[in-house]
Structure 1
Amino acid sequence: MSRAAGDSETAAAQARPGPAAGARRGRPRSTAVDSAIIEAVLRLIEDGVSIGELSMERIAREAGVGKATVYRRWSGKSALMLDVMRSLDAQSPALHGASVRDDLVALLEFLRRRGLAKRSSALMRTVVSHVQDQPELWAEYHDTVVRTRHEALLGVLRRGVESGEIRTDRDLETLADLFVGPMLARALLHEWKELPEGLAEDIVDTVLEGVRSRPQTAVG
C-alpha cells in the first residue's frame, strides 16, 4: 500500500464518528432492570427487612437478576439505597407567593400526603432507625433532597417577616421546625397516628397565631 493511500485511510478513520471520551462500552443500561432492582428493595423494606439485613445478594435474588447486574449499576448498598429513596421523591408543590399562610399550608400538605404513602413512610422510618449505622446515606439524601425543601420553607418565612405577617424577633430555623415537626413526628415516629385532612391548615394556623406580628399599642 502506498503512503498516500495509507494516509487517506487514516484520515477517513479519524473522520468516522466514535464513542465519546470516557463513554461506557457495551449495551445501554436497561431502565427496566433498574426499576426491578429498586422495586425489589422497596418490597423487602415493606416486609420489614432492615437496612442492616439487606445485602446485594438478597436484593439481586428478589429482583430476579444476578449479583453482578446490581454491582454494575451501584458500587454498594449505600449508593443503591440513595437511588431507592430518590425514586420515592415527589415534585415539591408550586408556591404562588400571594399568601404566606397558603404557601406554608401547601408545603405541609405535601408532607402529609407523603406520610400517607405507605412506602415513603416505611422507607424513611427504616433509614432514620439506622441513621447512626449509615450516616453517609442520610447526609447525601439531606444534601440533595431535604435541604432544597428546607430552603423553600425558610424562603416563605423570610417573606412573612418582610411583609409583617411574622414577628422579627423569632429565629426562622426554630420556626421551620415548629411547622414541620408535628407532621414529621406523625409520619415517621408515631405512624399509628392519623394524618387527617385539614391537619396542615391546623398546624399552620396554630403556629402563626403565636408568631404573628401584633399591632403596637399607642402610649397615652
Structure 2
Amino acid sequence: MNGVVEGEGKRAPVGGPAAGDEVPALAASSAPAPSASPSPSPSLAPASSPPCERRGRPRSAAADTAIIEAVLHLIEEGAAIAELSMERIARVAGVGKATLYRRWPGKDALMLDVMRSLEADLPTPSGKSVRDDLVALLEALRRSGLAKRDSALLRTVLSHVKGSPALWREYHDAVVRRRREVLHAVLRRGMATGEVRADRDVEVLGDLFVGPMLVRAMFQEWRELPEGLAEEIVDTVLGGVRPRGSGAD
C-alpha cells in the first residue's frame, strides 16, 4: 500500500551492518558486501521490521540477504515450504545453522520475513486530505495486485503460505493488520474533521473501501486493474459515507 510504490518490485534485504557472522557463499565476493538497498526482483511488504532481533553482536546484512535469497531460490526451483529445512536453507545460503537461528527461532519466522521482503512499503498518509490518503492506500493495493499477477514467484510463495494456516495467520497479524490500522486511522481522522460520517463502524467503512480492490486483485484475476480505479472506488464510497447535510447526499 504496500512515493506510493517506490519499494514495489524489489526484495527488501533485512538487517544491518555485520560483525562476526560467516561471510555467506551467495554473498561473498571481492566486491564490497551488499548494501541495505533493495535488489531488483518481482514485487508486496516491506521488511518493515527486522526478524527476531536479539542482543549481541551486530547482524550481517550480507548473511540476511543471502538467507532470504536462498529461500526464494529454493521455492523458484520447486521446493515446497513444508519440504524446506533450516539445514537446507543454511547450506544453500552458505552459512551455518547458528547464523539462521541467531536471526529466526524457526522456519515460520523466517518465512514471514521472506513474505515481507516481497511486499511494497505502505505510503505515509499526508494528513492533508482524507480523500487523497484513501486514494494513495488503494493505489498501493492496485499496484500490489498487478505485481502479484506478473510475478510467478510471488504467487508461488503466497500459495505456499496460504497452505499453512498458522503461518497465514501470522502473516495477516504482522502485515495485513498494519495496513488496516493505517486505513482506519485515516478514516477516524475523516470522522473527526467531518469528511466521513461518524455514525458508522470504522471497520465496516474500511471494508467498503478496500473490498472492491481486493476482490478484483485476489479473487477475480481475469478482471482488469486499470489506472484510475483507486480514485473511482474512493469517490464512489465517499459519496455514500459523507455526513448528511454536507451537500453531497
Q: What is the TM-score of this pair, normalised by structure 1?
A: 0.69
Cα deviation, 1:43-89, whole Å, max 9, x if unaligned, reads 34445544323332443344344555434543310121122123234
| Matched residue count | 190
Identity %: 66
Which of 130, 133, 150 in structure 2 is aligned with 1:103? 133
Cα deviation, 1:122-143, whole Å, max 9, x if unaligned, reads 534432x2242xx2x3444444
Structure 1 residue 207 corresponds to structure 2 residue 227: no
SS at match of 1:103: helix
The answer to whether the 8 A contact 1:153-1:176 is kept is yes
Q: Match for residue 157 of structure 2?
A: 123
Structure 1 residue 181 corresponds to structure 2 residue 201: no
* Aligned-partner Cα distance in 2 for 1:194–1:61: 42
Structure 1 residue 197 corresponds to structure 2 residue 230: no
Structure 1 residue 162 corresponds to structure 2 residue 195: no
* Aligned-partner Cα distance in 1 for 2:85–2:108: 11
* Aligned-partner Cα distance in 2 for 1:174–1:203: 15
* Aligned-partner Cα distance in 2 for 1:101–1:23: 43
Residue 38 of structure 1: CA displacement? 0.4
Stretches of structure 2 that go unaligned for 5 or more consecutive residues are: 1-53
Structure 1 residue 36 corresponds to structure 2 residue 69: no
Stretches of structure 1 that go unaligned for 5 or more consecutive residues are: 1-21
Greater relative contact order, per chain length (Cα 8 Å cut-off, separation 6+) = 2
Structure 1 residue 150 corresponds to structure 2 residue 180: yes
Residue 102 of structure 1: CA displacement? 0.6
Structure 1 residue 113 corresponds to structure 2 residue 147: no
Cα deviation, 1:108-127, whole Å, max 9, x if unaligned, reads 11222223333555534432
* Aligned-partner Cα distance in 2 for 1:88–1:52: 20
Larger Rg: 1
Cα deviation, 1:164-187, whole Å, max 9, x if unaligned, reads 332333221011112122323333
The answer to whether the 8 A contact 1:51-1:130 is kept is no
What letter corresponds to residue 168 of structure 1 in structure 2? A
What letter corresponds to residue 198 of structure 1 in structure 2? G
The answer to whether the 8 A contact 1:186-1:194 is kept is yes
Structure 1 residue 76 corresponds to structure 2 residue 109: no
* RMSD over aligned Cα atoms: 3.1
The answer to whether the 8 A contact 1:82-1:141 is kept is yes
1:82–1:107 distance in 2 versus 1, CA, 3 Å: same
Structure (1 or 2) with the greater helix fraction: 1
What letter corresponds to residue 82 of structure 1 in structure 2? L
